[in-house]
Structure 1
């Protein structure tokens, strides 16, 4: 995929597509985006896939559910050997995509297979129909569902005491805010025990532009106008991009301090992943530095080139990420 960044290289005006998808009542017509989806593959008699998957409801009244991914050769459910659990939140600027979207389905298959982990990919409510903080509510509700779920895959194969929250783009933002909420009352999640957060190209913004945002203002994957539009549809009505949901570096510092301090005291480790071809890279660097200054154990993996969410859209680029995740998870478990 091209990473050209000048406006003359944009073959499609992203704002034209997004504006056309807005209905008069303020809802979003997602049919405009023609997003491919993949069905779950729960049948263990089919060895074609290295990973099994199935969909399980969380809260039918909110139409939230989880797609669970289980390595095909997981230890028998009677075995004492269980697999680490990763609760994953998909990306899409809070307005697009699903746990069933092909790019996120395939990414979770890769994670489950390569990391030998059980993945629970959460279907949360999207904006503008459901503005923040409703997606955060769904993210946390999913964790409470996991801790009590009677699902045989979770009960038989997932080690609830070794749980990580992971998300890509908007999902990275979700994982962080879900972590903030749950860190202040971790006993409420027992026997689920969070060990750390994995923020993959986390989606943050703010009013004041960063140098990387200005340098990559017309980036093909995430131009500023597209990111701003997503936040306009996502944030509570009447607030700016310096709201804590969007920008934890402004008024959010004091508001998130309690949660960050709890992360530190609980011994959580955070992994922040990004690349310098992403307009958001400066925010990721500043965010990770802020957490480190608060005493949180933070590992960073910032690479050259690339683009926002590259490992999800280009599977060939996921191999270095897998190695980074393996190293992080093994250190977290044994450290």
Structure 2
């Protein structure tokens, strides 16, 4: 039988975890996470990582397997995920992947894009610009040079913005022009399921989730991680806003409102990214599981 990876995507707080467990139980298989922040064991509440009950409901991989102090990136994840899939496909014909980090999803299903080497001095100049003028200066520059990338990458992540800019400046071409040029052949087929609903409902669910996170102890979790705030892994919605509160820059109420606002912006970018894949089968988040399973089975038979 053809080996099949079922990839579940969609905006944050839409219900991807619950669907992944339902599908894993139906197909009696394992789940691998492609959420780039749920990898880190110190970040549990703020990343909406699966609860212990959810972890017990199906075998999970790439959840809390790294520390925030580890040097871990999308290239490392691609290698590890493909190795894990090779082992899992010896036991299962179908494996589930779930996560809202578009670059990490694509790394597994399509492979990473090739970028030309650029002068390392460009990165140093961009770092100086960031230190002197702040992130907005870099964001504005990227918006001028490559609007498509500006709209789709994690625009609040200085490392991602600088990486895109150094390619734009070093090659005199948009960063986005190098994307999706190479399609790596995979020893499995991918079926992508997307969950979504109207924007108002997505935003309401995000706001409610942030309130629940605060009730669960996000403030204390962020306080314990404050000394590591310089790490790229903690340049993450839900933590960086609370770090501003600890620094005395914001009130707690304003910090929480910023978490909600930035989470909504992140959801918008996620959808922009995932909507680019025309092969994705989209469902409203309230669609009964049996209808989604029926659609998946039909797709598998057609492979």
Return the structure number with greater strand share.
Answer: 1
Return the structure number with greater helix share.
Answer: 2
Q: How high is the TM-score relative to the length of structure 2?
A: 0.37
Q: Which has the higher relative contact order, 1 or 2, with Cα contacts under 8 A spaced 6 or more apart?
A: 2
